[in-house]
């Protein structure tokens, strides 16, 4: 495994409470499947429900996404709740408790302009040598905020050499293959 292939995947708030279209759900499943194939660790963050009257609406991670970890060693993934938009504290606590890698992260989920953004900012605020790289997978993120344009939301993310917004894993692999072919030609 390439050192760049080792990361902890963080799936943020992919639960029925928040609007996520079928493409976003499918792309998150793709990211979970890829992390599993690479034997990477996976953290599912979600906001718990606060009222018995809302138990259906505030359910945890979409079952279709959790299905992608069925049969995967439970020591390699974890569901963690958070109470605020920034889930970085819970991510780092989970990494420490479960001995997950905590230098490289890949993030996906909803809402891009709130929870994903705040978690990225929280991780970047951690002592610089600790976090080496954070990737946010653009096609596996979505915002349901009617005041935020999904095509412009990426302008809200901080400029940091450790942060990369990637189009999709397929695009990353395509670029890497093209670079390898160019070098071998």
Give the model confidence (pLDDT) of 124-153 as tens digits.
998 656 899 999 999 999 887 666 666 788
Domain count, the chain: 1
Average of pLDDT values for 112-134?
89
The CATH number assigned to the domain holding 133 equals 3.40.50.850
User: For a pLDDT cut of 70, what percent of the chain falls above it?
Assistant: 81
Q: Which domain holds residue 173?
A: 3-184
pLDDT at residue 117 is higher than 80: yes
In degrees to the nearest 10, what's the CA dihedral of 144, 131, 97, 106? 40
Backbone angles phi, psi at 14, to 5 degrees: -85, 75
What contacts 113, CB < 8 A, 6 or more positions away? 143, 145, 148, 153, 156
Q: What pTM was estimated for this model as a whole?
A: 0.85
List 79's β-bridge partners, or say none: 44
The per-residue pLDDT for 1 is 38
- The tens digit of pLDDT for each residue in 9-67 reads 999 999 887 777 899 999 999 999 999 999 999 999 998 866 555 555 466 888 999 99
CA distance 16 to 32: 18
Average of pLDDT values for 105-114?
93
* Closest residue by Cα to residue 38 from 180, 173, 174: 173
pLDDT at residue 179 is higher than 70: no
CA distance 30 to 14: 14
What contacts 156, CB < 8 A, 6 or more positions away? 113, 117
What contacts 155, CB < 8 A, 6 or more positions away? none
Q: What sign does the dihedral 33-35-36-42 (CA atoms) show?
A: negative
């Amino acid at each position: 495994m390439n050192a760049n292939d080792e990361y902890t995947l963080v799936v943020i708030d992919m639960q029925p409470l928040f609007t996520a279209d079928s493409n976003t759900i499918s792309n998150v499943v793709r990211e979970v499947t890829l992390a599993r194939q690479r034997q990477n660790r996976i953290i599912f963050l979600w906001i718990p429900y606060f009222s018995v009257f809302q138990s259906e609406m505030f359910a945890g991670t979409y079952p279709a996404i959790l299905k992608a970890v069925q049969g995967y060693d439970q020591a390699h993934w974890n569901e963690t709740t958070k109470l605020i938009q920034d889930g970085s504290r819970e991510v780092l606590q989970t990494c420490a408790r479960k001995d997950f890698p905590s230098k490289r992260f890949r993030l996906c989920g909803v809402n891009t302009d709130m929870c994903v953004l705040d978690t990225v900012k929280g991780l970047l605020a951690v002592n610089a040598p600790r976090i080496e790289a954070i990737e946010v997978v653009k096609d596996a993120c979505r915002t349901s905020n009617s005041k935020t344009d999904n095509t412009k939301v990426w302008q809200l993310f901080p400029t940091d050499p450790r942060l990369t917004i990637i189009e999709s894993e397929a695009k990353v692999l395509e670029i890497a293959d093209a670079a390898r072919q160019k070098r071998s030609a």
